[in-house]
Amino acid sequence: MIAFHDVAHDYGGGPLFRNASMTLEKGSFHFLTGPSGAGKSTFLKLCYGELLPSAGSVSLLGQDMKTMSRDDLARTRQRIGIVHQDCQFLDHLTVEQNVALPLSVTGRAVSAENLSDLLAWVGLGGQARALPPTLSGGERQRTALARAIIASPEVLLADEPTGNLDWDMSQRLMSLMIELNRMGTAVLIATHDLNLIRFAKTQVSTRVLRIARGEVQTAGADL
């Protein structure tokens, strides 16, 4: 699904990380962890092409990111779901309109029944007509998750999806992503919350990547 080959990235002040290689297989479940500022969000942005690597290559769904046209990149993003740390909503649209965006911008039919079921599945059945600024932190995260999965993505990328949520809500959101993974979606979650990783490990087979001191390594069982 996603493959990094000797990827390095820097913002001009020296490499954030270098020689990063990893493969995200179909149906796999990965965590990406590391201290704040280590480059977790950058790593995810490289995964979906918001950034290009300074060196090495990133392949997304079989296509090299560097050789993709803008339309190719857009079409590829239609096959992945992204949950942002800050959610990234269109605040003037309702929850259901935001959730339906991945389908409606590509001309795919949005079934009212499916949309309603999805919102109920993430616990937002009563918030369909609400505007994002009126939602709580947990509701915003679940709305972002619903939007990320409405188009049945092959890959789900989530950047600190449980940041600012209490433990109960974090567990609930993680359970939703685990359920999605069981349905075949490859999942990569960037988080610094080790408790969350431990919780997931009790329910699903996961691999943990750790970014530290400019290196991306596979973490051991010492979490």
Partner 1 sequence: MTRNDVTRVVVPRSGRGVWLVGLSAAAMAFLAVFALALSVSAARLAQNWAAALSQTATVRISAPPEEMAEQTAIVLEVLRTTPGITAAREMTDDEQAGLLEAWLGPDLPLDALPLPRLIDVTETPDGPDRQGLRLRLSAEAPGAVYDDHTRWRRPLAEGAARLRQLANLSLVLIGSVMAAIVMLASSASLASNAQVIRVLRLVGAQDRFIARAFVRRMTLRATLGAAAGAGAGAIAMLALPDPASGSSVFSGLGFQGSAWLLPLSLPVVTAALAWIAAKATALGVLKGVT
The residues, ordered by sequence, that sit 6+ positions from 90 with a Cβ below 8 Å of its Cβ are: 97, 98, 101, 132
Give dist(CA 128, CA 115) in Å, integer.
Answer: 9
CB of 80 to partner 1, least distance (A): 8
Applying CB under 8 A, which part among 28-36, 80-88, 122-130, 178-186 lies near partner 1?
A: 80-88
82 touching partner 1, by CB under 8 A: yes
Residue type at position 223: L
CB of 90 to partner 1, least distance (A): 6
- Angle (CA) 107-69-159 rounded to 5° is 70
Helix (H) or strand (E) holding 20: strand 15-24
CB of 173 to partner 1, least distance (A): 19
Give dist(CA 190, CA 168) in Å, integer.
Answer: 19
Nearest residue (CB) to partner 1, 101 versus 178: 101
DSSP state of 68: -
CB of 65 to partner 1, least distance (A): 10
Summarize as ranges the residues that interact with partner 1 (CB under 8 A). 48-51, 70-71, 73-79, 82, 84, 88-90, 92-93, 97, 100-102, 104-107, 110, 147, 151
